[in-house]
Amino acid sequence: RPKLAVKTSCVAAPEKQQVCTGVRRNENFGKLQAGYLFPEIARRRRAHQEKHPDARVISLGIGDTTEPIPRFIADAMQRAAAGLGTLEGYSGYGAEQGRGEVREALCERFYAHVGRKASEIFVSDGSKCDIGRLQMMFGAGVSVAVQDPSYPVYVDSSVIMGMTGGYQEGRGFGGIQYMPCRPESDFFPDLRKVGRTDLIFFCSPNNPTGAAATRAQLTELVAHARERGSILIYDAAYALYISDPDCPRTIFEIPGAEECAIETCSFSKYAGFTGVRLGWTVVPEALRYADGQPVIADFNRIMTTVFNGASVVAQAGGLACLQEEGFKEMTELVAFYKENAEILRRAFTELGFSVYGGTNAPYVWVGFPGQASWDVFATILERCNLVTTPGSGFGPAGEGFVRASAFGHRDDILEAVERLKREFRGAK
């Protein structure tokens, strides 16, 4: 057995004498780029604040929610928490798949009309965690396609699992099929140019572009997955932000999706549950592996093995979200953020920039052709004390864009817009 060894030449800190174990690092971590996008933004923001201690920096950056959880929903959680302190209200471990009532209520609200059953819905501590668990379920031997740009978790979790090669600047990771989604193709990939992969991550409305795929586009996507025998991992975390009736709110509105798709969704951006943590994943019984085994059996195994059920308090909140009063509150909260998006959209448009998204999503995607995203990020931070998110952090095709998030207090959004107008009016 290797013993603890004092190494004088630790790669991470050659100047220090460090005690190292005999454990080899998962080499895939070495492939990841500059840490996760958001810690890098936070680092740059801190550096800016240190340089300008009096500046009031406003963030349009990270995409975390800012408004309090609505009353009816918060009250339900308070009652559940208080109940845990009583003999009658106490409960311990629950079903790993989620409380029956919550699964039923999710199904009733979002899925019964498209033929899904409560038993196909797994309640969890959030979509990001479910994406990690799905990766664990499929293992390292599968190939992956992602929209480019996309939510970084699909790519980074694939890298950590060992599904990819190394990183090449401007091209991304070897072994991943990037499906460019740019304005010229209405932010939908040209599927004729996409080679077969086992998994296809697809997010609509998209983070970061704010584009919601239409019924026709999703029909094409489902046909593509079925023809190639791929599994779609459909991220619907922002589905409630869709107001265009031509854009489905679940992939299961598309006939045949139940044989080729898994959908993940979350209360994070619906009800301000980013800190509470509650999401769900739908795995249809009809979804099968090449050998005919049902995928749902393995997902159930994953949830019962490495997850132990969502928090009792969070599930009480989730249930309240799905009841009439809570659902109304949740819809109003989404509408509030959508108004923020509209304010941002209008401002960038008035300034003459190319503006996308923001109507079916809480993200506005602003084009700065010919400029590097990180440079635009730096200019906006320096001149306006505003944090945005550089598009290139979401994939090679995000270069030349920045994302502005509508998650913010109204006063901050209005102030941000004033600063942008002051600095950039007439610049284009």
Decide whether 312 or 384 has the Cβ nearer to ligand PLP.
312
Q: Is 151 in the site for ligand PLP (CB under 6 A)?
A: yes
Decide whether 124 or 230 has the Cβ nearer to ligand PLP.
124
Residue 356 identity (one-letter amino acid) = Y
Q: How far is CA 405 from CA 315, 340, 380, in A?
A: 27, 9, 14
Contacts 24+ apart (CB under 8 A), 9-15: none
Decide whether 274 or 371 has the Cβ nearer to ligand PLP.
274
Decide whether 207 or 209 has the Cβ nearer to ligand PLP.
207
Decide whether 157 or 385 has the Cβ nearer to ligand PLP.
157
Cβ burial, residue 4 (10 Å; 0-12/13-18/19+)? exposed
Name every residue whose Cβ is closer than 8 Å to that of residue 314 and which is 6 or more positions away in sequence: 77, 125, 273, 276, 277, 278
Judged by CB under 6 A, which of 126, 172, 309, 393 binds ligand PLP?
A: 126
DSSP H or E stretch at residue 35: none
Point out which span in 25-33, 88-96, 120-128, 407-415 binds ligand PLP (CB under 6 A).
Answer: 120-128
Decide whether 149 or 172 has the Cβ nearer to ligand PLP.
149
Backbone angles phi, psi at 263, to 5 degrees: -120, 135
Tokens of 114: 């498209």
Give the nearest distance from C-beta 123 to ligand PLP in angstroms: 11
Tokens of 386: 């505003």
Q: Is 237 in the site for ligand PLP (CB under 6 A)?
A: yes
Binding-site residue total for ligand PLP (CB under 6 A)?
A: 14
Point out which span in 35-43, 75-83, 122-130, 213-221 binds ligand PLP (CB under 6 A).
Answer: 122-130
Q: How far is CA 19 from CA 5, 8, 13, 73, 327, in A?
A: 6, 9, 11, 49, 54
Point out which span in 105-113, 124-132, 255-263, 312-320 binds ligand PLP (CB under 6 A).
Answer: 124-132
Residues 259-298 that bind ligand PLP (CB under 6 A): 266, 268, 274, 279
Judged by CB under 6 A, which of 120, 235, 329, 399 binds ligand PLP?
A: 235
Name every residue whose Cβ is closer than 8 Å to that of residue 418 and which is 6 or more positions away in sequence: none
Residues 314-373 that bind ligand PLP (CB under 6 A): none
**With contact defined as beta carbons under 8 Å apart, do 70 and 326 qualify?**
yes
Q: Which residues bind ligand PLP (CB under 6 A)?
A: 63, 126-129, 151, 203, 207, 235, 237, 266, 268, 274, 279
